[in-house]
């Protein structure tokens, strides 16, 4: 049964009700537009999902990334649902963007350029083609080519590829080499970031019962310590700060490195002629826009993706001749700048040692601030609003 008030609503009251609804709609539209513009051109928030940058950045550090540090990119795919990336949260199979309109790479002026040791957020270069596992998660297409139990690959534009964060150790035009885990640029050994982690062997007869004070001082995490078979040593990840604290104590430490010349088949450029591993890598020239290099069958594995994928040339290396766009070639001039990225957790990081150069059009911005951090069941208060170095 309906009850009536006995009087009709006036036109003024109906208009007032409609105006209130209109205000809410207008406010929502304004918020979406403003948020999209801020996220595209000024600053964007990210969360750290992996330990590859420990101890500089920890899992569940929430960071702000400055787009104006290097200049904001114009989106490649302007037709997209705001605040989404490659898929929708609960509908992994649906794409929240359309490739009907695609804009070429263009970057607005910024405050500067990428510098050595900047912590940079970028789109994953090998994220151009991904596979999906049964749960809808991304799988590296280039590492799983031999498998047949995946659906057709997902081809993604640059701005919809996965976003990663690493430290820039090599700039365009640099010649980089990793020698005994030390990065050398143009023959000069580079200082280690203060809180970068490296693998060491720690010796002591007391390894089964390290004092809690020492564990706290070294910021040891049980997940990253392995007791070796002789029960007198640990394989352990330590920061450079922790190593300094151990010097002069009764605990002996030494770097734990792979043997020079031992080939790691996972590493770039995945070619049998390159016997590189995580601790001994290069030398390798990092492409610079406008620079011309000699290309041959010995070095073409290093620059194949640069020439064919990132700079969109037709490259043919069969029949003993290198052909670019159908023309025999002995040299190549680069169209973009490229960078070499590494994680601070040097022995637990999938970085440019695995997937090669990061093109300039993949650079998202500079990681500048940790605005929130959560771990071990509580807020990490000391990390809030701290700068990233």
Q: Where are the alpha helices (DSSP H) in 160-289?
A: 212-218, 240-246
Instruction: Output the pLDDT for position 133.
Output: 74
Instruction: Output the pLDDT for position 5.
Output: 46
Whether the CB-CB separation of 336 and 310 falls below 8 Å is answered with yes
Cβ neighbours around 263 below 10 Å, total: 14
SS3 15: helix
Instruction: Output the pLDDT for position 36.
Output: 85
Cβ neighbours around 25 below 10 Å, total: 10
Question: Counting every residue, how long is the chain?
Answer: 389
Instruction: Output the pLDDT for position 94.
Output: 82
- Domain range annotation of the chain: 197-255, 292-333
The token pair at 74 is 């114009």
What are the b/e assignments for 338-373, b being 16+ CB within 10 Å? bbbbbbbbbbbbbbbbbbbbbbbbbbbbbbbbbebb
The secondary element (H helix, E strand) that includes residue 176 is strand 175-179
Whether the CB-CB separation of 187 and 176 falls below 8 Å is answered with no
CA separation for the pair 37, 78 (Å, rounded):
12
| Residue 167 exposure: Cα atoms within 13 Å on the Cβ side | 26
Instruction: Output the pLDDT for position 157.
Output: 94
Instruction: Output the pLDDT for position 374.
Output: 93
SS3 367: strand
* pTM for the whole structure: 0.88
State the 10-residue block means of pLDDT for the chain, 389 residues long: 48 61 86 88 94 92 97 94 82 84 95 97 92 76 68 88 96 97 96 88 67 67 54 78 80 88 93 95 98 96 96 93 96 98 94 97 97 92 94
């Amino acid at each position: 049964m309906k009850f009536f008030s006995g009087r009709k609503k006036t036109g003024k009251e109906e208009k007032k009700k409609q105006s209130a609804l209109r205000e809410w709609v207008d406010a929502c539209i304004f918020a979406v537009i403003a948020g999209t513009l801020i996220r595209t051109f000024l600053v964007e928030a990210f969360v750290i999902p992996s330990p590859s940058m420990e101890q500089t950045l920890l899992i569940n550090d929430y960071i702000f990334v400055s787009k104006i540090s290097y200049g904001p990119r114009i989106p490649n795919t302007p037709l997209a649902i705001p605040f989404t990336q490659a898929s929708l949260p609960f509908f992994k199979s649906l794409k929240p963007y359309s490739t009907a309109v695609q804009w070429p790479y263009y970057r607005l002026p910024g405050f500067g350029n990428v510098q050595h040791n900047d912590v940079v957020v970028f789109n994953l270069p090998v994220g151009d083609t991904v596979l999906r596992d049964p749960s809808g998660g991304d799988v590296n297409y280039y590492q799983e080519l031999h498998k047949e139990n995946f659906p057709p690959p997902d081809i993604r534009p640059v701005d919809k590829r996965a976003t990663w964060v690493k430290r820039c150790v090599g700039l365009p035009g640099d010649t980089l080499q990793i020698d005994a885990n030390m990065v050398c640029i143009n023959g000069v050994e580079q200082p280690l970031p203060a809180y970068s982690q490296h693998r060491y062997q720690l010796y002591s007869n007391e390894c089964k019962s390290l004092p809690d004070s020492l564990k706290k001082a070294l910021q040891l995490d049980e997940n990253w310590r392995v007791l070796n078979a002789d029960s007198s040593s640990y394989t352990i990840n330590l920061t450079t700060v922790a190593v300094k604290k151990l010097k002069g104590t009764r605990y002996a430490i030494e770097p734990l490195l792979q043997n020079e010349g031992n080939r790691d088949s996972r590493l770039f450029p995945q070619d049998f002629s390159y016997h590189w591993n995580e601790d001994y890598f290069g030398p390798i020239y990092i492409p610079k826009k406008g620079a011309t290099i000699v290309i041959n069958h010995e070095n073409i594995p290093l620059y194949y993706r640069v020439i064919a994928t990132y700079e969109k040339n037709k490259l043919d290396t069969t029949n003993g001749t290198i052909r670019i766009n159908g023309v025999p070639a002995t040299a190549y001039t680069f169209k973009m700048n490229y960078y070499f990225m590494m994680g601070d957790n040097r022995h637990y990081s999938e970085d440019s040692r695995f997937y090669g150069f990061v093109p300039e059009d993949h650079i998202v911005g500079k990681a500048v601030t940790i605005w929130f951090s959560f771990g071990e069941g509580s807020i990490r208060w000391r990390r809030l609003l701290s700068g990233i170095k």
